[in-house]
Amino acid sequence: MVDKPSYLNFDTKAYAWKPEIDYRKHPELYRVGKGEQGVLICEPYKSEIGPYWRFKTVEIAKESSAKIYELFLSYLEKNDFIGADMARKYLQMGFTRARRYANYKGGKKYDKEHDHIALARNR
């Protein structure tokens, strides 16, 4: 069996997080979920945190993670649990993405041009 990315068969209708919801105005609709679920959908946090999410080089990763951590602390000060949870998720995703760049040339894990087959890891 060929290992393919999970987003190829993604069921958006069944997904708990919806892009049209403002989770700051409606925190009761937020679901914690497992891992980093919802991070690229939940507004306004996606727009507030996402622009700082950069991890291609060590220097960029340090700058990005420092800014996102500042946002995390800011959300905590405001008792904004969802913002803090989202910032935490972005930091976790950054760690994963940094490992991806370390393990795969150009940060690409799958070959889109060849039926999404897994690419070889850096040696």
Residue 74 included in any domain: yes
Residue 12 included in any domain: no
Q: Which residues contact 122 (CB under 8 A, 6 or more apart)?
A: 102, 103, 104, 105
Amino acid 54: pLDDT: 86
Amino acid 44: pLDDT: 96
Residue 6 included in any domain: no
Q: 117 forms bridges with which residues in the sheet? A: 111
Amino acid 116: pLDDT: 53
- CA-based R_g, the chain, Å: 16
Amino acid 102: pLDDT: 56
Q: Which residues contact 48 (CB under 8 A, 6 or more apart)?
A: 71, 83
Q: For each successive 10 residues of the chain (123 residues), what is the average pLDDT?
A: 61 78 94 78 94 85 94 98 94 72 58 57 57
Domain range for 98: 18-118
Tokens of 31: 């679901």
Global confidence as pTM: 0.70
Amino acid 38: pLDDT: 77
Residue 9 included in any domain: no
Q: What total of structural domains would you count in the chain?
A: 1
